[in-house]
A and B are shown apart, each in its own frame.
Chain A
């Protein structure tokens, strides 16, 4: 079981240790350019920092529709009412997720009764209290979660995403 304790890190290392990084990085630099490989590039895309809400406006189990990293990528900002790993704010219970099902891109809806996001397309379910872990379903990834920061005034800012969002081969679309 030791391996599983480290699975996040292992997965990350496996990907970034190999040529996939070089290939992925190349995509962000001059599309189709024959010199792309030689251009230095960041290992990850550069995410915008974007204000998506304020702590004072959030109520437990009342989801707020948001968009991140751009207006074509819908998501949800949630105050869960229970401290969760990765949650922010004074109660450690504020999280945000993409609401495009990573299976086929259907919209997810929040079920307050058990704090899950659910897909009417093919019945996939994701647990908002466990980092978007897929409870049941067909997506081959857990739900992309938006990384959040909060400032002293209670402004909530989204700063990154931890999985590929459905329908885009780069979380930040090329200009």
Chain B
């Protein structure tokens, strides 16, 4: 049977319950929430004067009620050591989400750690070390001593290149300004670590190098621009599922026409109509469907290109727009350089692009008109946005550049209803000392680890086994190397410190790797680790981040971390202090001195040391001021503090001044499938194994793997397959299939999808019960950006649908009106 909670009532928050500001932990959108808490032995009543909401709760509440919360928003947690009821519910006054909660964010309550209700019992509560053949708890002092001692000895023997690091660089849970600053200070200031990579890619690099190299920061508009645009161009982004409330609260009004008043008010003196939308995606997504439902099919242009041919399309569109005379010449003249050279280099005819992309010439011409044809003599306002379909797609750098070329040529950066932006994954929260020493291209850290390089690996909230490319080969090498150290540790008594450290170092000299995993839950890669350190997550610590429109908020601590878990920045502080002691004991006072400056007692101290002192506009920002700004916060960068408010920046580049003065066009010629081996893989294997995220689980799988509601729906990753292909493969809905190619193999459950093109599948990415990364080749671009999307493989049946999938629905995910 389908999972049901069988909860038929919930406690009523009393009048006067405590309220704190919260931003959803998970995705980039950063919906505003409130944490409402009250003592476990008290409760409110149904009368308006008895409850927090001031409503008569003996009556049925209407749609979009501010006075109803679902069982998933509720829990009992510890707050300063005392049990409290906790409700985490969307804030109707937050401009981002206006009270909407996604299927992920609205489960934050249920996904909190509770000793009372038993939720998230998987959370790590104590430092653990490998001894006597298993992982066992120990003290912070013991664990940090061991990590520092091995780190110091490896660095002494191999230099700082012997220390490999995998670390978050984002905001929200597993990140935030406090924690990126702390890790950055440790690895880029106290040390100059070069062999470092980011949580979802094998090197330390930007996913959007090109736009930055052109002088255009990638988060340059505001969510309201989606309400003001004449045309939205969405490239490789499935916003309904992965930026849900940005889509529902800001795109839909424009598609429905309900933002017309706002358009006329803010942008008088030009004609307005409900938005048109162009979606570039090989796959028909629920986003395409929702746009058609709201705007009408005639206002939606789904460009279902051959996978990986975006670049050819963009070059042709820019060529066509220029040929029609639809460019914004005044803007380009004043604020850009290199247009003519770019146009000459990238010249692509509509017919050439049609041949490469599989689109019709008419579709391409229509797209060009929707993007740039003036509306009654006025410039058309077009918002360009893109995400992993482009970022993790073929020829990342050039494709990113080609899209920015089009946005600049049409004058759509820095203008209301415009922008050329990434949609984002996590929230952002990056503030670190300079990473210039890392170099460009940065080291391909996963390759180095596979090749036996390095002696110690510090992992901060990353799980390569789930979220890297060439994952099966990586896992095999990683397990072999870390097992060498485990065998060595088993040969000596744990309590004999010197013998233990010597045994570990001896194993490292023989190719072993000592692994340290900092996380909030057990991870797949952590199964190989020798030390596991328990971290706190957002809400268990005060945490600052910004969303996809640079909106910075403070999530106020509303509950205690589990057991002895600590904020990452305070773990860094402890580790830095342990390293200082270790270097000093080794007689290296000059090195030891580099680890001073970590005397933070709170996350706020780390924030003030980092963001406040170093960020652009950081001096205007403190916890106290952020608290007062609530869930609306301000948009970075801060430019002033006036009348009790932090003054932010709604859009970037509104005066046409870019990072280096003028924005630069970029030559971005088409060159086929760029990453080594991709064309051969395409030629050899019949099925495109396209991949990405799903609505139920997105930026939340680390907790969802322990959540009954989600694991009941998706016990295994789905692979969407055309029903006729399923017939040929003799597989039925829910059957277990193996996906395989020369890179590796993985498993999924078959989900018949009539809208899927023949031989074009789509598999849920980064799922713990079937990592798609196993079949992704090691091929990367010139800056070590992986190419997950263009993967080809074969599919075969493993077994008939087992009980866990047999009971599932495999009906069409698209909403229909009948």
A interface list, Cβ under 8 A from B = 1, 3-5, 7-8, 10-12, 14-15, 17-20, 23-24, 26-28, 31-32, 36-37, 44-45, 72-73, 85-86, 100, 102-106, 109, 111, 113-114, 116, 118-125, 127, 129-142, 145, 161-164, 166-175
Q: Would you call B715 an interface residue if the criterion is a C-beta within 8 Å of the partner chain's C-beta atoms?
A: yes
Q: Would you call B811 an interface residue if the criterion is a C-beta within 8 Å of the partner chain's C-beta atoms?
A: yes
Contacts of A36 in B (CB 8 A): 43
Known: A127-B811, A140-B103. A167 touches B60 (CB 8 A): yes
CB < 8 Å: which of A100, A131, A132, A140 contacts B107? Answer: A140
Quick check: A104 and B64 within 8 Å, CB to CB?
A: yes
A6 to chain B, nearest CB (A): 9
CB < 8 Å: which of A19, A45, A170 contacts B83? Answer: A19
A120→B63 CA distance, assembly (Å)? 13
Quick check: A131 and B6 within 8 Å, CB to CB?
A: no
Quick check: A31 and B60 within 8 Å, CB to CB?
A: no
A67 to chain B, nearest CB (A): 10
A126 to chain B, nearest CB (A): 9
Known: A15-B117, A136-B813. A26 touches B9 (CB 8 A): no
Quick check: A105 and B809 within 8 Å, CB to CB?
A: no
Stretch at the interface among B70-78, B413-421, B456-464, B683-691: B70-78
The digit string for B615-626, where 1 denotes a CB below 8 A from any CB of A, is: 000000000000
Quick check: B9 and A24 within 8 Å, CB to CB?
A: yes
A21→B46 CA distance, assembly (Å)? 19
Known: A4-B711, A105-B61. A114 touches B103 (CB 8 A): no
Quick check: A72 and B7 within 8 Å, CB to CB?
A: no
Contacts of B614 in A (CB 8 A): none
The digit string for B593-616, where 1 denotes a CB below 8 A from any CB of A, is: 000000000000000000000000
Quick check: A32 and B44 within 8 Å, CB to CB?
A: yes
Quick check: A24 and B7 within 8 Å, CB to CB?
A: yes
Quick check: A138 and B103 within 8 Å, CB to CB?
A: yes
Q: Would you call B680 an interface residue if the criterion is a C-beta within 8 Å of the partner chain's C-beta atoms?
A: no
Quick check: B818 and A136 within 8 Å, CB to CB?
A: no
Given known contacts A14-B117, A129-B809, A173-B60, what 4 new A-B pairs fall within 8 Å (CB)?
A18-B118, A24-B11, A28-B9, A36-B43
Known: A32-B44, A123-B290. A15 touches B2 (CB 8 A): no
Our count of residue pairs bridging A and B at CB distance below 8 angstroms stands at 242
A152→B386 CA distance, assembly (Å)? 61
A123→B813 CA distance, assembly (Å)? 9
B interface list, Cβ under 8 A from A = 1-12, 14, 40-41, 43-47, 50, 57-65, 68-76, 83, 85, 100-103, 106-107, 110, 114, 116-119, 240, 244, 248, 286, 289-290, 293, 695-696, 708-709, 711-713, 715, 802-804, 807-809, 811-818
A and B contact pairs by CB, cutoff 8 A, 24 listed: A3-B711, A4-B712, A7-B711, A18-B116, A18-B117, A19-B83, A20-B74, A28-B9, A31-B46, A31-B47, A72-B60, A104-B100, A105-B61, A106-B63, A125-B811, A129-B809, A131-B4, A136-B814, A139-B103, A140-B110, A162-B4, A167-B68, A170-B8, A175-B58
Contacts of A24 in B (CB 8 A): 7, 9-11
Known: A8-B1, A27-B12, A142-B2. A37 touches B41 (CB 8 A): yes
Quick check: B63 and A104 within 8 Å, CB to CB?
A: yes
A24→B2 CA distance, assembly (Å)? 23
A45→B119 CA distance, assembly (Å)? 23
Quick check: A169 and B715 within 8 Å, CB to CB?
A: no
A133→B708 CA distance, assembly (Å)? 13
Quick check: B10 and A140 within 8 Å, CB to CB?
A: no
A11→B709 CA distance, assembly (Å)? 9
Contacts of B804 in A (CB 8 A): 1, 4-5
B805 to chain A, nearest CB (A): 9
Quick check: B76 and A164 within 8 Å, CB to CB?
A: no
Known: A125-B815, A175-B58. A15 touches B807 (CB 8 A): no
Quick check: B43 and A23 within 8 Å, CB to CB?
A: yes
Across the A-B interface, the 5 shortest Cβ-Cβ residue pairs: A31-B45, A131-B2, A123-B815, A105-B63, A72-B60
A172→B106 CA distance, assembly (Å)? 23
Contacts of A174 in B (CB 8 A): 46, 57-58
Contacts of A133 in B (CB 8 A): 2, 713, 808-809
Quick check: B43 and A140 within 8 Å, CB to CB?
A: no
B161 to chain A, nearest CB (A): 42
Quick check: A132 and B58 within 8 Å, CB to CB?
A: no
Contacts of B118 in A (CB 8 A): 14, 17-18
CB < 8 Å: which of A11, A168, A169 contacts B3? Answer: A11
Known: A102-B70, A131-B1, A136-B813. A23 touches B709 (CB 8 A): no
B203 to chain A, nearest CB (A): 35
A120 to chain B, nearest CB (A): 7
Known: A20-B117, A132-B2. A168 touches B811 (CB 8 A): no
Quick check: A167 and B2 within 8 Å, CB to CB?
A: no
A159 to chain B, nearest CB (A): 12
Quick check: B8 and A8 within 8 Å, CB to CB?
A: no
CB < 8 Å: which of A14, A100, A111, A171 contacts B9? Answer: A171
A11→B1 CA distance, assembly (Å)? 13
B316 to chain A, nearest CB (A): 33
Across the interface, name the chain B residue whose C-beta is closest to A132.
B2
CB < 8 Å: which of A4, A37, A86, A111 contacts B818? Answer: A111
Quick check: B8 and A44 within 8 Å, CB to CB?
A: yes
A106→B64 CA distance, assembly (Å)? 8
Contacts of A124 in B (CB 8 A): 815
CB < 8 Å: which of A19, A135, A140, A162 contacts B811? Answer: A135
Across the interface, name the chain A residue whose C-beta is closest to B812.
A114
A128→B11 CA distance, assembly (Å)? 29
Quick check: B3 and A125 within 8 Å, CB to CB?
A: no
